[in-house]
DNA sequence: CTGAAAGCGCTAACAG
DNA sequence: CTGTTAGCGCTTTCAG
């Protein structure tokens, strides 16, 4: 494996010139640059990133910490982040932050600090004040995806607004009896997404002058089976059956649709269903949804941190930025069926 | 940010001793070691990985190259790999290898070579001979997941056997008219998984003395909508309707079940369905499946490469190793319904 | 525009 | 068991 010295010798210049020619920093006469590049190419030379980081202090690595990998929303973010990173010549170091305290502190206190990353992207991370401090203390660009984080620039859809939008869509169609099947508000993970989506729902109802009580909201596990089992309960009892369900995620909504189908309830004739996310399966279920693009959020976060890296002084919107989420109407919502005469 | 020198001064020893004490390599008197650790802790010292890799030549990074992130099978592998890596003190660098030639070569010729990783795990990678050579030429431990790879130790379930197992299960129940809904054999991605699963199916039929023809196998997109649309076609025509379907993946199988439900075909009374994978959704659909654990395959691959790293000379089984896949019978398969008298 | 020289922060012999 | 010494391969002043 040849080093910079070999290239220098072959090109008949000094190591310094090779370094300048190849990195693009500093003046090099075009012909010289050409000779150097050719020499490098012919030797198959690539810089040693450790040597280079040792002196520059930059690793061109970005750390991504994420609580789950195995779910559409999260893996889509990873995909977006990876795409944007590779495009800009950075590498992605992935850390799956599970719930065990031990592992969390290992990541925070060891991995991230170990001079291995230039910046950090924290996805849907509910962190303690101390952890936040550790992150900030790194003095490295950080961006969060998924919700506000104390002192850290973050990015997400406006959950309250998205959820209001979904609910208003149903209201506009004429629904008055809308149940919200959402995540468990007491499960504090995820930046309070659950409580925000619940809030948007309540706001919309209130604005429309419709009362809600504790039976209007049901907590479900935040996946297809979760929505399914809740809906099975809810829809099984014809007296409780609403004309519409606003599910806090598409997966929950799909579960609801599956349950409805099994109970012989036709969607949207007998029941309208709406979700949030833009999950790929939404299409095949004809699910009406509020689309957010997690991959684009990932790209955006990368933009932020890279920009801070490359033009020092620039800072992203210091608090919380929301990206647009769009209502995508498919066939799972319709006006409520009028009582047959 | 304090360096090894600061720790040495505070502990009253030399830099070399600090290095030994903290890395665990070489003899250090227990009391000394203690003093050093305390000094390090009080200063919040962590080694500079670039400095350390520069001299040792090891980065404690493992590169993972994977064609898709956003699908259960793949993200489960990533999860398993990450878990195993963190446990052993390594970091994961993720590369999503898409189909564009440009990006592929960038990863192969640049990222992986750039002295950034100690080992590589290649997931379900269909690579050209030149790419394989590049990988081997790195002289670094490599493991593949998902199928045999020229000259590289790899790991997967035995697709032929798994698929034979699934088919035999249906045969044993008495089915004689079994259609295989699989991936498109002509799509050469994925280590020929599709053709192997088709092969296992054919072998089982042949062994049972049952003929098959070109109508016995239908290609589908390898996901839920793919299975759905194929099944919608197939099952829509009562004359073509088989008594059982062997889907080449659980997602395809779920699509089949959804289509059957829509057509009013009861599973398993009118149609038995079996899949392969052990997808989490299988449970809620009562899907009988052949379970493989992609996350465990990821862990296994990590074992291999780390072991090679840590005990030079050791080599994993040089060709292809298969891990067990187990039949998990749920409710979606049953004996074919006898023609009503 | 280019070269010489001085480290970046750490580890690995090698002597004590 | 511990200290001294010599780099690892590059980038970056600072002079030409």
| pLDDT tens, position by position, A42-97 | 998 989 999 999 999 999 999 999 989 999 999 999 999 999 999 898 999 999 98
Contact flag, residue B15 CB and nucleic strand D, below 7 A = yes
Question: What sign results for the dihedral spanned by CA atoms A289, A292, A294, A296?
Answer: positive
Would you call A327 helix, strand, or coil by DSSP? strand
Predicted confidence at residue B188, as pLDDT, reads 55
Backbone angles phi, psi at A181, to 5 degrees: -100, 110
Contact flag, residue A13 CB and nucleic strand C, below 7 A = yes
Q: How far apart are the first and last CA of chain A?
A: 85
Contact flag, residue B23 CB and nucleic strand D, below 7 A = no
Predicted confidence at residue B338, as pLDDT, reads 56
Predicted confidence at residue B314, as pLDDT, reads 84
Task: Check A115 against B281: CB less than 8 A apart.
Answer: no
The answer to whether residue A236 sits within a structural domain is: yes
Would you call A293 helix, strand, or coil by DSSP? coil
B299 and B230 assigned to the same domain: no
Contacts of A106 in chain B (CB under 8 A): 86
Alpha-carbon torsion angle B77, B82, B83, B84, nearest 10: 90
The answer to whether residue B248 sits within a structural domain is: yes
What pLDDT, in 10s, does the model give residues B134-188? 777 778 888 999 877 777 888 888 899 999 999 999 999 999 999 999 887 666 5
Question: What sign results for the dihedral spanned by CA atoms B121, B127, B129, B131?
Answer: negative
Q: Which nucleotides of C are covered by protein (CB under 7 A)?
A: 1-5, 7-13
Least confident of A107-111, B212-216, B252-256, B286-290: A107-111
B190 and B278 assigned to the same domain: yes
CA-CA distance, B303 to A277, in Å (whole number)? Answer: 37
**DSSP-derived secondary structure letter, B285:** T
Name the domain count of chain A: 3
Predicted confidence at residue B340, as pLDDT, reads 44
Query: Mean pLDDT, chain B, as a whole number?
Result: 88
Q: Which nucleotides of D are covered by protein (CB under 7 A)?
A: 1-5, 7-13
Would you call A304 helix, strand, or coil by DSSP? helix
**Tell me, in Å, how far CA of A299 is from C1' of D11?**
31
The answer to whether residue A317 sits within a structural domain is: no
Omega before residue B268 within 30° of 0, cis: yes
The answer to whether residue A316 sits within a structural domain is: no
CA-CA distance, B71 to B195, in Å (whole number)? Answer: 21
pLDDT band at residue B254 under the 50/70/90 scheme: very high
Q: In tens digits, what is the pLDDT along chain A, a chain of 341 residues?
A: 788 999 999 999 999 999 999 988 878 888 899 999 999 999 989 899 999 999 999 999 999 999 899 999 999 999 999 999 998 989 999 999 887 777 777 777 777 767 689 999 999 877 777 777 777 777 888 899 987 777 788 888 888 999 999 999 999 999 999 999 988 766 655 567 888 899 999 999 999 999 888 889 999 998 999 999 999 999 988 888 999 999 999 999 999 999 999 999 998 999 999 999 999 999 999 999 999 999 999 999 999 999 999 887 788 876 677 777 888 888 889 898 855 44
Contacts of B76 in chain A (CB under 8 A): 70
Predicted confidence at residue A190, as pLDDT, reads 55
The answer to whether residue A328 sits within a structural domain is: no
Contacts of B281 in chain A (CB under 8 A): 224-225
A193 and A89 assigned to the same domain: no
pLDDT band at residue B269 under the 50/70/90 scheme: very high
Task: Check A82 against B96: CB less than 8 A apart.
Answer: yes
Taking CA–CA distances from A85, the nearest residue in chain B reads: B95
Predicted confidence at residue A97, as pLDDT, reads 86
Please give the residue range of the domain that contains residue B178: 159-291
The distance of Cα B285 from the centroid of its chain, to the nearest Å, equals 23
**DSSP-derived secondary structure letter, B227:** H
Mean pLDDT calculated for residue range B216-229: 93
**Tell me, in Å, how far CA of B49 is from C1' of D12?**
21
Mean pLDDT calculated for residue range B61-87: 94
B107 and B201 assigned to the same domain: no
B24 and B104 assigned to the same domain: no
Q: B241-280: buried (b, 16+ CB within 10 Å) or exposed (e) per residue?
A: bbbbbbbbbbbbbbbbbbbbeebebebbebbbbbbbbbbe
A237 and A304 assigned to the same domain: no
pTM of the model: 0.92
The answer to whether residue A280 sits within a structural domain is: yes
Predicted confidence at residue B97, as pLDDT, reads 86
Task: Check B79 against A70: CB less than 8 A apart.
Answer: yes
A146 and A184 assigned to the same domain: no
A101 and A115 assigned to the same domain: yes
B32 and B128 assigned to the same domain: no
The answer to whether residue B320 sits within a structural domain is: no
The answer to whether residue B324 sits within a structural domain is: no
Cα–Cα distance list, B92 to A321, B60, B65, B182 (Å):
29, 9, 10, 33
Give the CATH number for residue B36. 1.10.260.40
Give the CATH number for residue A113. 3.40.50.2300
Contact flag, residue A9 CB and nucleic strand C, below 7 A = no
A237 and A271 assigned to the same domain: yes
Cα–Cα distance list, B177 to B180, B237, B245 (Å):
10, 15, 8
């Amino acid at each position: 494996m040849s080093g910079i010295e070999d290239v220098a010798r072959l090109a008949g210049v000094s190591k310094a010139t090779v370094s300048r020619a190849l990195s693009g920093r500093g003046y090099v006469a075009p012909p010289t640059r050409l000779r150097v590049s050719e020499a490098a190419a012919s030797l198959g030379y690539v810089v040693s990133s450790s040597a280079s980081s040792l002196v520059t202090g930059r690793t061109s690595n970005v750390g991504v910490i994420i609580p789950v990998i195995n779910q559409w929303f999260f893996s889509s973010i990873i995909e977006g982040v990876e795409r944007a990173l590779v495009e800009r010549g950075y590498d992605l170091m992935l850390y799956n932050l599970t719930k065990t305290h031990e592992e969390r502190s290992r990541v925070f206190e060891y991995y991230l600090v170990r001079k291995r990353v230039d910046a950090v992207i924290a996805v849907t991370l509910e962190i303690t004040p101390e952890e936040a401090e550790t992150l900030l203390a790194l003095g490295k660009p950080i961006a969060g995806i998924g919700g506000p984080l104390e002192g850290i620039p973050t990015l997400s859809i406006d959950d309250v607004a998205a959820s209001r939008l979904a609910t208003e869509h149903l209201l506009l169609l004429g629904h008055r009896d809308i149940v919200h099947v959402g995540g468990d508000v007491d499960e504090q993970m995820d930046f309070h997404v659950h409580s925000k989506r619940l809030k948007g729902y309540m706001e919309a109802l209130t604005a429309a002058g419709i009362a809600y009580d504790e039976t209007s909201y049901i907590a479900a596990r935040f996946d297809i089976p979760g929505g399914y089992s809740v809906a099975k309960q809810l829809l099984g009892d014809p007296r409780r059956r609403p004309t519409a369900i606003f599910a806090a995620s598409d997966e929950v909504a799909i579960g609801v649709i599956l349950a409805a189908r099994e109970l012989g309830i036709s969607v949207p004739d007998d029941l309208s269903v709406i979700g949030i996310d833009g999950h790929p399966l939404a299409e095949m279920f004809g699910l009406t949804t509020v689309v957010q693009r997690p991959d684009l959020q990932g790209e955006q976060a990368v933009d932020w941190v890279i920009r801070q890296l490359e033009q020092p002084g620039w800072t992203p919107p210091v608090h919380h930025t929301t990206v647009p989420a769009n209502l995508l109407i498919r066939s799972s919502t319709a006006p409520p069926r009028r009582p047959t005469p």
